[in-house]
């Protein structure tokens, strides 16, 4: 006799590798143990989820949770609360904390601080620097390591590798897929006079499409030379999409909901410095190209680039205002709204947020609703209409660029390895976050 399930989620439309269909999901010991009509199965508990859709747990492969050192903006606990409230089961967190995450010690301190304190599962990028190139093979292998992240252009924090000899050495040293912020530092410095004090509409003029394209082309050239996998974060321009679409072998592509949803100049007129991020939100021509990349498969994953800053930091006059906006809690509802508007299919969303991360980063046991996989599930109500507000924002900074935005489609449940991290807007009392496991680490 097989053991009873711990929980059966009964009657939802399950969206997985098989398409979309009504199936029951049986969970035992945190894993998917049944996927069928389970009406006759023994179980400790049943949840009736008829009318809802169950997606493989959404992985947000780019967030900044600011701990240690910048916890006035966010910490691992507050950021992960926002994540699971928005339907996100796992995050890859960025190394521009204080101290920077660039060593085995700073990485293991983050893992220790996150375990059973974060509400979602987690991995931490290790910043690639000029100094730690020799350590890269070891840093890539550590428990909780998402691999190496490099800033090729300056953004928030002190991580920067802008010279080709060091970039060449880093790319040749990696064996896992490494992530890059691709903006060309020399061009950014040369164009600084184009910033108009008090006018954030000059942000995309300063950090122009050419700055992004130069860096992306340099990076892909190095990746092809060394036959290494690189992941180009937050692609923002039509020119990069065209280039990356013709260079698929070694480079993968992230786009953000912000770049797909907001447009210049409108966003700067409406939101001022609250729309300021790096690389910038640009005009409609670029946004259309990002949507074309969603349609034709050039885009591999979505990352929110959740980058919280306090209102005080955002309220400085441009360009002293900080770059970045929150996004981890709104990724799913904003994208479901796009699904409902017919801009992408639910299957494509799952490809971007679950299958894509699993394929690119080699996740063990995640990213798929299939027997034996972690019971990581994002449960959504495609028919529910809600208005996103600052008051809902669980990020410590307490604001979202989508305040007042009406969306159709809402996350109503987040299961992380079978734990109910959020259900119908209620957060779990206890956090159970654990390091995401990778085939090429640990
Ligand atoms: O706008 C941004 N904010 N872009 C980045 O690359 C970093 C981020 C942050 O950490 O604030």
pLDDT digits (tens, 9 = 90+) for 367-377: 999 999 999 99
The pLDDT value recorded for residue 1 is 62
Look up 135 and say whether it is catalytic: no
Contacts of 80 (CB under 8 A, 6+ apart): 65, 91, 114, 118, 119, 120, 122, 431, 433
Assess whether the C-beta atom of 43 lies below 6 angstroms from ligand 1. no
Assess whether the C-beta atom of 354 lies below 6 angstroms from ligand 1. no
Contact 180, 150 (CB under 8 A): yes
Confidence class for position 75, pLDDT limits 50, 70, 90: very high
CA angle 434, 101, 113 (to 5 degrees): 35
Burial class (CB in 10 A: 0-12, 13-18, 19+), 315: middle
* Separation CA 388–CA 406 (nearest Å): 6
Assess whether the C-beta atom of 97 lies below 6 angstroms from ligand 1. no
- Whether the predicted pLDDT of 241 surpasses 70: yes
- Whether the predicted pLDDT of 9 surpasses 80: yes
* Separation CA 237–CA 351 (nearest Å): 22
| Residue whose entry in the numeric block shows the structure tokens 């030379």 | 225
Assess whether the C-beta atom of 323 lies below 6 angstroms from ligand 1. yes
Q: For the domain 7-54+370-427, what is the CATH code?
A: 2.30.40.10
Q: What is the mean predicted confidence (pLDDT) over 20-29?
A: 98
* Separation CA 58–CA 366 (nearest Å): 10
The domain ranges of the chain are: 7-54+370-427, 57-361
Q: What is the mean predicted confidence (pLDDT) over 175-203?
A: 98
Contacts of 134 (CB under 8 A, 6+ apart): 173
Ligand 1 atom nearest to 323, measured from its CA = 1
Assess whether the C-beta atom of 132 lies below 6 angstroms from ligand 1. no
Candidates 24, 305, 351, 374; catalytic one: 305
Assess whether the C-beta atom of 324 lies below 6 angstroms from ligand 1. yes
Nearest CA to ligand 1 atom 3: 324
Task: Measure 112 CA to ligand 1 centroid, in angstroms.
Answer: 24
Of the candidates 314, 338, 343, 344, the residue with the CA atom closest to the CA atom of residue 326: 314
Task: Measure 52 CA to ligand 1 centroid, in angstroms.
Answer: 35
Choose which residue among 257, 279, 323, 325 to substitute to test ligand 1 binding: the one with the highest number of ligand atoms within 8 A of its C-beta: 323
Q: Does the 57-361 domain belong in CATH 3.20.20.140?
A: yes
The pLDDT value recorded for residue 26 is 98
Assess whether the C-beta atom of 202 lies below 6 angstroms from ligand 1. no
- Whether the predicted pLDDT of 132 surpasses 70: yes
pLDDT digits (tens, 9 = 90+) for 249-276: 999 999 999 999 999 999 999 999 999 9
* Separation CA 384–CA 386 (nearest Å): 6
The pLDDT value recorded for residue 55 is 98
pLDDT digits (tens, 9 = 90+) for 331-345: 999 999 999 999 999
Ligand 1 atom nearest to 276, measured from its CA = 1
CA distances from residue 336 to 53, 269, 330 in whole angstroms, order as listed:
11, 26, 10
Confidence class for position 2, pLDDT limits 50, 70, 90: confident
Per the confidence metrics, is the pTM higher than 0.85?
Answer: yes
- Whether the predicted pLDDT of 442 surpasses 80: no
Adjacent-strand bridge partners of 12: 23
Ligand 1 atom nearest to 151, measured from its CA = 6
pLDDT digits (tens, 9 = 90+) for 280-333: 999 999 999 999 999 999 999 999 999 999 999 999 999 999 999 999 999 999
> Do the domains spanning 7-54+370-427 and 57-361 agree at the CATH topology level?
no
Q: What is the mean predicted confidence (pLDDT) over 18-32?
A: 97
Assess whether the C-beta atom of 150 lies below 6 angstroms from ligand 1. no
SS (H, E, C) the chain: CCCCECEEEEEEEEEECCEEEEEEEEEECCEEEEEECCCCCCECCEEECCCCEEEECEEEEEECCCCCCCCCCCCHHHHHHHHHHCCEEEEEECCCCCCCCCCHHHHHHHHHHHCCCCCCEEEEEEECCCCCHHHHHHHHHCCCEEEEEEECCCCCCCCCCCCHHHHHHHHHHCCCCEEEECCCHHHHHHCHHHCECCEHHHHHHHCCHHHHHHHHHHHHHHHHHHCCCEEECCCCCHHHHHHHHCCCCCEEEEECHHHHHCCCCHHHHHHHHHHCCCCCCCCHHHHHHHHHHHHHCCCCEECCCECCCCHHHHHCCCCCCCCCECCCCCHHHHHHHHHHCCCCCHHHHHHHHHHHHHHHHCECCCCCCCCCCECCEEEEEEEEEEEECHHHCCCCCCCCCCCCEEEEEEEEEEEECCEEEEECCEECCCCCCCECCECCCC
Q: What b/e sequence results for 122-149 when a residue is b if at least 16 CB atoms lie within 10 Å of its CB, and e otherwise?
A: bbbbbbbbeebbebbeebbbbebbbbbb
* Separation CA 368–CA 373 (nearest Å): 7
Confidence class for position 212, pLDDT limits 50, 70, 90: very high
Percent of the chain scored above 70 by pLDDT? 100
pLDDT digits (tens, 9 = 90+) for 138-167: 999 999 999 999 999 888 878 999 999 999
Contact 392, 378 (CB under 8 A): no
Assess whether the C-beta atom of 236 lies below 6 angstroms from ligand 1. no
Choose which residue among 183, 307, 322, 325 to substitute to test ligand 1 binding: the one with the highest number of ligand atoms within 8 A of its C-beta: 307
pLDDT digits (tens, 9 = 90+) for 424-441: 999 999 999 999 999 999
Nearest CA to ligand 1 atom 7: 156
Nearest CA to ligand 1 atom 10: 156
């Amino acid at each position: 006799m097989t053991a009873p399930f711990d929980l059966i989620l009964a009657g939802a439309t399950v969206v997985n590798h098989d398409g979309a269909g009504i199936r029951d999901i049986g969970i035992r010991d945190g894993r998917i143990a049944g996927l069928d009509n389970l009406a006759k199965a023994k179980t400790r508990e049943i949840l009736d989820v008829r009318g809802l859709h169950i997606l493989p747990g959404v992985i947000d492969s780019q967030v900044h949770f600011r701990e240690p050192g910048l916890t006035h903006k966010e910490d691992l606990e507050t950021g992960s609360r926002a994540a699971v409230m928005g339907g996100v089961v796992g995050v890859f967190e960025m190394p521009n904390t204080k101290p920077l995450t660039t060593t085995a010690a700073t990485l293991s301190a983050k893992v220790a601080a996150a375990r059973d304190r974060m509400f979602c599962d987690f991995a931490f990028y290790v910043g690639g620097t000029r100094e730690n190139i020799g350590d890269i093979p070891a840093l890539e292998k550590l428990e909780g390591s998402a691999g190496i992240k490099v800033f090729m252009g300056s953004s928030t924090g002190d991580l920067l590798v802008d010279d080709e000899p060091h970039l060449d050495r880093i790319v040749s040293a990696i064996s896992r897929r490494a992530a890059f912020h691709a903006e060309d530092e020399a061009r950014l410095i040369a164009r600084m006079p184009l910033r108009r004090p008090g006018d954030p509409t000059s942000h995309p003029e300063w950090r122009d499409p050419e700055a992004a394209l130069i860096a992306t082309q340099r990076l892909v050239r190095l990746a092809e030379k060394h036959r290494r996998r690189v992941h180009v974060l937050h692609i923002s321009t039509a020119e990069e999409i065209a280039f990356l679409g013709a260079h698929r072998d070694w480079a993968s592509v992230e786009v953000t909901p912000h770049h797909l949803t907001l447009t210049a100049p409108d966003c700067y007129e409406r939101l001022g410095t609250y729309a300021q991020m790096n690389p910038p939100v640009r005009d409609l021509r670029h946004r259309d190209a990002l949507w074309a990349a969603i349609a034709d498969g050039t885009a591999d994953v979505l990352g929110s680039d959740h980058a919280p800053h306090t209102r005080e930091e955002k309220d400085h006059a441009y360009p002293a205002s900080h770059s970045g906006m929150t996004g981890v809690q709104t990724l799913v509802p904003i994208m479901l709204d796009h699904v409902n508007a017919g801009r992408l299919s639910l299957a494509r969303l799952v490809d971007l947020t679950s299958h894509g991360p699993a394929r690119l980063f080699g996740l063990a046991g995640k990213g798929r609703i299939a027997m034996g996989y972690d019971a990581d599930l994002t449960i959504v109500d495609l028919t529910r209409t809600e208005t996103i507000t600052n008051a809902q924002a669980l990020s410590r900074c307490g604001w979202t660029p989508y305040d007042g935005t009406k969306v159709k489609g809402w996350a109503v449940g987040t299961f992380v390895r079978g734990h109910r991290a959020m259900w119908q807007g209620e957060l779990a009392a206890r956090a159970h976050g654990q390091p995401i496991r990778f085939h090429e680490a640990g």
